[in-house]
Amino acid sequence: MTTGSTQQVAAHARRLVIEQIERRGGTAREVPVGRRTEVHMDGPDGLRRLRVVSRRRGDWQSSIRNGDTETEPDRFWVFVDLSTERPEFHIGAEEEVVHGIRTRHEAYLRRNGGHRAFNDASLHCSIRTRDIDGYARRWDLLGFD
């Protein structure tokens, strides 16, 4: 599914992640957390909480506020790429993802004299494939071979 509302595409991406976890022998379910829905999984290394982010084209979208998030060792981000013929999964530890958001935003501000190029009030942050290159198919981070 690459059509539908943002919410429908996000739900589809979560279902794809759950299917991948179950294919590998884990169990997973969707859990509402505040205004978003996470995937909580039980696998070989115990409980893991997953933030699933999807894209149909372009970059993944996030917020610079995520760069200030307190991280936890059992939390991971799963980037689901729906722009390809078959979905691709990129998995990173929350600590690394949050650090990347923070450092890329700080570098962006330095390049622009301490300001955003168009709107200082904007919280938008894009995450490009090259920003998460090392995360491709890292199911091992969740305890799977």
Model confidence pLDDT, tens digit, residues 43-90: 999 999 999 999 999 998 887 777 667 888 999 999 999 999 999 999
Q: Which pLDDT band holds residue 1 (cuts at 50, 70, 90)?
A: low
Interval 110-132 mean pLDDT: 82
1 lies in some domain: no
Report the alpha-carbon distance of residue 44 to residue 136 in Å, rounded. Answer: 20
Q: Determine the structural domain holding residue 10 and report its residue range.
A: 6-142
Q: How many domains does the chain have?
A: 1
Tell me the CA distances in angstroms from 52 to 10, 20, 119, 120, 129, one per residue in order. Answer: 8, 13, 27, 27, 15
Give the range among 16-20, 39-43, 99-103, 112-116 with minimum mean pLDDT: 112-116
137 lies in some domain: yes
Winning range, highest mean pLDDT, from 1-15, 85-99, 104-118, 119-133: 85-99
Tell me the CA distances in angstroms from 136 to 28, 38, 103, one per residue in order. Answer: 20, 20, 21
Residue 21 sits in a domain whose CATH number is 3.40.1350.10
Query: Tens of pLDDT along 87-111?
Result: 999 999 999 999 888 888 788 787 8
35 lies in some domain: yes
Report the alpha-carbon distance of residue 84 to residue 2 in Å, rounded. Answer: 10
Structure pTM? 0.90
The token duo for 145 is 């071979």
The answer to whether 93 and 99 are in contact (CB under 8 A) is no
Report the alpha-carbon distance of residue 87 to residue 73 in Å, rounded. Answer: 26
Q: Which pLDDT band holds residue 2 (cuts at 50, 70, 90)?
A: low
